[in-house]
A = this chain, B = another copy of it.
Amino acid sequence: MSAIKSIRSIAPLLDRILVQRIKAESKTAGGIFLPESAVKELNEAKVLAVGPGGLDKEGKRIKPSVQPGDKVLIPQFGGSPIKIGEEEYSLFRDYELLAKINE
């Protein structure tokens, strides 16, 4: 049986960053539901948890570039997928994240 009670119990290791992709609109502005094939995947994600950071050559932690709550651009490929119930998440290495999205 899965040991994962909630996504909050996932603590990424080293420089890994746990993110969840931001869902694209499945309704038009006018409220019409779009068929699934018309919903484009976004490469935007919300940071849920960050690891303690990778180790540099002197054994010191390299501070991750992002924090939980940040919105980020993720690369089109890569990342390790995790599925909990019906929700999908991904783990990226810190250096794989492309950009922060400021609001």
Instruction: Please list the residues of chain A having a beta carbon within 8 angstroms of any beta carbon in chain B.
Output: 1-5, 9-14, 16, 18, 22-25, 42-44, 51, 55-57, 59-60, 62, 65-66, 71-73, 75-76, 80-82, 91, 95, 97-103
Contact = CB atoms under 8 A, between A and B. Distances in A.
A11 B98 contact: no
Given A18-B99, A56-B57, A80-B98, A1 B13 contact: no
A96 B44 CA distance: 24
B71 A3 contact: yes
B59 A62 contact: yes
Given A3-B103, A42-B2, A103-B9, A80 B91 contact: no
Given A57-B56, A57-B57, A80-B75, A99 B91 contact: yes
